[in-house]
Amino acid sequence: MKSEYPMNHFLDIHKTSAADLHGIIDQAKAMKQARQGRPKGMLDDELPLAGQMVALIFEKPSTRTRISFDVGVRQMGGQSMVLSGKDMQLGHGETIADTARVMSRYVDLIMIRTFDETVLTEMAEYATVPVINGLTDRTHPCQIMADIQTYEEHRGPIKGKKVVWAGDGNNVCASFLHAAAQFGFDLTFTGPAQLDPEEEFVGLARRAGSKVVIERDAVKAVAGADLVVADTWVSMHDSQSSKERRHNMLRPYQINDALMAHAKEDALFMHCLPAHREEEVTSSVMDGPQSVIFDEAENRLHAQKAIMRWCLGL
């Protein structure tokens, strides 16, 4: 697949070729292995980001994305700055295009977490340095790269496996659908019809040959699952006033021990975090033997280091 941009932006999983995505995962695994047991602040053996300046812009809260990108840049010998969108002129009327052109004169790589996807795409269009999607209302590709790495470390290739997404067909679910197309796994969505994933994303995965099933019955959906995934019922871009309505719709899709019992015996459980314990998932599942949630969180670091190297061609 040829990119529509003259440089390696990491905007969405379906916009990067499958070969490059596999290469990124392989590099993430190798880089993780290479620094096993090392203190977090110690440099990697190779320093591909030496001399590189990375800007990390957040228009929404973040714990994992903020810290893992910052640490990753430093471990690879680069320098990073964490910027809050609301403290920038960006939040006070300066256009995205002008911001992108200005920032490209100062930094070598931009990561942005924002609301509307068009902010990301406009940034990518006007920046003369690579841009990484650190989550929008619509997608969260870095998370899913870490999740693929995590699945494969525990269970081998994800190709041909059955992934079940339970709950809201949100931004993280969308990137799972993109990944289904690129990594060749099947995805069953179980949740209320009002919160189905976007038809465009379902169609994309199906056209690529993935089996995508929409199943309203959570027990039927989870049968034979290799991986069960949940996320918050109220995302950062959802209004707080919708909370009660969403909870009422989503309650039948809570991941608990009774539901997990219908998945394969060796099924894994994932959640991108932050989680709301006893809402979308019980603590018994989160802290149980099938859960790999903290490995996922750790792998954000390793996967994103590999993504940054790919963006910069280093």
Residue 240 is among the residues annotated as catalytic for this protein: no
Residue 216 is among the residues annotated as catalytic for this protein: no
Q: Which of 305, 65, 272 is nearest to 165 (CA)?
A: 272
- Interface residue with ligand NVA, options 152, 186, 231, 296 (CB under 6 A): 231
| 27 contributes a contact to ligand NVA by CB under 6 A | no
Write out the binding residues for ligand NVA, residues 93-152 only, by CB under 6 A: 135
- Longest distance between any two alpha carbons in the chain, whole Å: 55
Specify the residue, 24 or 135, whose C-beta has the smaller distance to ligand CP: 135
| 64 contributes a contact to ligand CP by CB under 6 A | yes
| 62 contributes a contact to ligand CP by CB under 6 A | yes
The full 3-state SS of 116-134, as one line of letters, equals CHHHHHHHHHHCCCCEEEC
| 299 contributes a contact to ligand NVA by CB under 6 A | no
- Interface residue with ligand CP, options 114, 133, 143, 232 (CB under 6 A): 143
Region from 14-22, 29-37, 229-237, 249-257 binding ligand NVA, contact rule CB under 6 A: 229-237
| 121 contributes a contact to ligand CP by CB under 6 A | no
| 47 contributes a contact to ligand NVA by CB under 6 A | no
| 235 contributes a contact to ligand NVA by CB under 6 A | yes
The minimum distance between CB 296 and ligand NVA, in angstroms, equals 11
Residue 231 is among the residues annotated as catalytic for this protein: yes
Residue 137 is among the residues annotated as catalytic for this protein: no
| 84 contributes a contact to ligand CP by CB under 6 A | no
| 59 contributes a contact to ligand NVA by CB under 6 A | no
| 182 contributes a contact to ligand NVA by CB under 6 A | no
| 187 contributes a contact to ligand NVA by CB under 6 A | no
- Reading the block at residue 221, the tokens are 């959906």
* 190 interacts with, out of ligand NVA, ligand CP, none, CB within 5 to 8 A per kind: none
* 27 interacts with, out of ligand CP, ligand NVA, none, CB within 5 to 8 A per kind: none
Q: What residue ranges bind ligand NVA (CB under 6 A)? A: 135, 170-172, 231-232, 235-236, 272
> Which residue numbers are catalytic?
113, 140, 143, 231, 272, 300
Q: What residue ranges bind ligand CP (CB under 6 A)? A: 62-65, 135, 143, 272-274
